[in-house]
Amino acid sequence: MKANVYSEDQYITLKMADNGDVIVGMPYIQEWIEAVRSVPGRKWNVAEKQWEIPGTKSAILFLCHVLKDIPVKLGDAQLGEMFPELLQLQTAEEKIALQRLREGMKLKGYSTKTQKAYMGHAERYLRMLPVPLKDAELKHTRAYLLNLHEESRSSSYVNQAVSALRFWHVTVLGRSDPNLRIRPKRQKKLPVVLSTIEVSKILKSVQHMKHRTLLALIYSSGIRIGEAVRLTKQDIDPERRTIHIRQGKGGKDRFTVLSTAAYDLLQNYMKNQPIIKYLFPGGKGLDHHITERSVQQVFERAIRKAGISKPATVHTLRHSFATHLLENGTDLRYIQELLGHASSKTTEIYTHVSIKDIRRIQSPLDRMIGFEEDE
């Protein structure tokens, strides 16, 4: 980047137009105008007095080539999601700040998932920022967070955005921002839970042995999808009937229960599946585990085939495991240990979805005799 050639308030802004084209906003600098005019299919919108280029992959790649030395801002997050190549047009200052964020998270020992999520929030924030990063003020952060609410993002998503920006601005860049102390109230949503009959239907609908075994392990042990795909043969202890979860969420090890039925499935599966490292290898080879997205797609097909209309995901199997244990009388403290929850408050959510005690309550309607005849 040759950011030092231009003043700090001079840059090109790219925005999506309603018709799918890309609007190119810029100050009158002849060099920049010539660069945009070189893009095939570009046009001058007389009514709006602005340059527009086709919103196609080829046009965007060409634009990236001609603007490689010019400071660029993305006017909306949609552009960056549609054309990741545009992220290469970040200013030198932004690239350095993002690199410091990466390094800060690595030094803190954040998981790969958290690092990816935080980087995504930081990059989206930069794309929406109307000024250079060093000139960003409290109002800009506030506007960004308010925009997330207007997009109807969940409270957990907004909270994660706050955590990401707070870590970046305050911990890494050494700034102070009171807006990052305000968090939206968490939505109190109860998890979706499948009945034992529904779980059985799902497992029976999966014919592929590897996929059925994997889903059975997730339900029978209550493990997360990311923990399941990374299981190795050494993690299974048939003598103690346990599964060793290594470096789960929060970087914690734990043990959970190994179901006899699930272990029988696993044994039959391993008779025909060579195991080098991971129990469930993926398409990239025996030394790579199956991807989480592949498992999600397997589950999506399974619930459709089983005729289940609940908005269930692979994680629903974990919720169902905990709820069924609770309904069968398992102490909440043991369930907390099996799930790897740091706080008992997290596990207590299952007391609200358990129907063990609800089923004992008789509805007043059922006490009415012959109410239909009175009509």
Residues 6+ positions from 153 with CB-CB distance below 8 Å? 161
Global confidence as pTM = 0.60
The architecture CATH gives domain 196-358: Orthogonal Bundle (1.10)
315 counts as catalytic: yes
Written in H, E and C, the secondary structure of the chain is CCHHHCCCCCCEEEEECCCCCEEEECCCCHHHHHHHHCCCCCEEECCCCEEEECCCHHHHHHHHHHCCCCCEEECCHHHHHHCHHHHHHCCHHHHHHHHHHHHHHHHHCCCHHHHHHHHHHHHHHHHHCCCCHHHCCHHHHHHHHHHHHHCCCCHHHHHHHHHHHHHHHHHHCCCCCHHHHCCCCCCCCCCCCCCHHHHHHHHHHCCCHHHHHHHHHHHHHCCCHHHHHCCEHHHEECCCCEEEECCCCCCCCEEEECCHHHHHHHHHHHHHCCCCCECCEECCEEEEECCHHHHHHHHHHHHHHHCCCCCCCHHHHHHHHHHHHHHCCCCHHHHHHHHCCCCHHHHCCHHHHCCCCHHHCCCHHHHCCCCCCCC
212, 289, 318, 319: the catalytic one is 318
**Res 303: pLDDT:** 95
- 93-181: CATH topology: DNA polymerase; domain 1 (1.10.150)
Amino acid of residue 35: A
Which mean pLDDT values do the consecutive 10-residue runs of the chain (375 residues) have?
Answer: 47 82 85 85 87 84 72 70 66 79 88 86 78 77 81 83 87 72 65 92 94 95 92 92 84 88 92 87 83 92 94 93 89 89 83 71 69 56
208 counts as catalytic: no
Structure tokens at 177: 């921002």
157 counts as catalytic: no
Cα 363 to the center of its chain, rounded Å: 41
**Res 3: pLDDT:** 38
**Owner of token pair 């199997």:** 317
350 counts as catalytic: yes
201, 277, 305, 315: the catalytic one is 315
224, 254, 289, 324: the catalytic one is 224
Between CA 308 and CA 291 the distance in angstroms is 24
63 to 10, 55, 59, 148, 324: CA distances (angstroms): 18, 11, 6, 29, 56
Work out the angle between the directed axes of helices 196-205 and 292-306 (0-180°, nearest 10).
Answer: 110
**Res 154: pLDDT:** 81
254 counts as catalytic: no
HSE value, Cβ hemisphere, 13 Å, CA-based, for 211:
20
Residues 6+ positions from 146 with CB-CB distance below 8 Å? none
333 counts as catalytic: no
201, 210, 244, 249: the catalytic one is 249
Cα–Cα–Cα angle for 226, 231, 342, rounded to 5 degrees: 55
Residues 6+ positions from 197 with CB-CB distance below 8 Å? none
Sequence spans of domains, the chain: 3-74, 93-181, 196-358
